[in-house]
Structure 1
């Protein structure tokens, strides 16, 4: 599902490595829609089927999460990006890391997440960005408040 260009698919070696939360916000200013995926990377994703782990159903695209804030978001973009990264940081393992991509939405997954096809990797996201997001999150959000 990686973009194929003369000479082969685009890999994370071909795109910038974002090392700060501000770098992700800057990328959003020039590339939208922008999504994040936690996986072994675009090359691994291009040869794997996406499946819902609970049902076993084949998904019509890669499961991703939006980095573009919703129109109703009235806070800094940095806060949205931090929240999105923190909500899915549990998916990060030594074999899985976050990377930024764009593509076409082909449907929604079981958690209502976008499923992308025709994906184009735009950047890798360093673990330090997730750490920075995790440090910001409790300062700007009422983490764990479920409204009760």
Structure 2
């Protein structure tokens, strides 16, 4: 099965927010996609070269402290925080949503996910929408990669 053609594409922050509201325990992963990740099944710590027990991903579940704030802004921030990976990880890297079982945590405290079930691709337009939503906030913010 070639997941690249078969997965649905989330085309707006609202689509992603609605999915996050409906389906618990979703994660976003920036990679060449489910087909490529299925072959390796585990991420590698870039600093040490140690193979970790799952794929690095970031949770999309809304935290209780977020209260009744807009879910679209929540998912915008979750995407924006790691949007630098699109350029740093090389050609073909893009975000996609998955479900799975957390096997541990990586060096940045990110969940390491096993038994991955691909849910959908995140369109580049959603990343642009996330950037715009973050830029509209009163306080300035940068991606997790904030310089050396």
Which residue of the other structure, out of 39, 44, 66, is the alignment partner of 2:36?
A: 44
SS in structure 2 at match of 1:111: coil
Residue 142, structure 1, aligned to residue 116, structure 2: no
Partner in structure 1 of residue 71 of structure 2: 77
Quick one: structure 1 residues 141 and 47, their matched pair in 2 at CA, closer, same or farther if it must change by over 3 Å? Answer: farther
1:12·1:123 contact (CA, 8 Å) conserved in 2? Answer: no
Are residues 1:126 and 2:123 paired?
yes
- Flag the 1:119–1:32 CA change in 2: closer, same or farther, 3 A: same
Corresponding position of 1:13: 5
Offset of 1:30 from its aligned partner?
2.3
CA RMSD after TM alignment: 1.6
User: Which one is further off, 26-35 or 130-139?
Assistant: 26-35
Aligned length: 137
Q: Is it true that 1:31 corresponds to 2:28 in the alignment?
A: no
CA contact (8 A) 2:134 2:141 kept: no
Question: Can you list the C-alpha shifts for 1:94-135, whole angstroms capped at 9, x where unaligned?
Answer: 310000001000000000000000010000000000000000
CA contact (8 A) 1:12 1:121 kept: no
Q: Measure, in 2, the Cα distance between the counterparts of 1:129 and 1:141.
A: 21
Give deviations 1:51-105, integer Å, cap 9, x for gaps: 0001111110000011111111132111110011001000114310000001000
Q: Does the residue aligned with 2:102 lie in a helix, a strand or coil?
A: strand
TM-score, normalising length: structure 2: 0.86
2:110 matches 1:116: no
Structure 1: which 5+ runs fail to align?
1-7
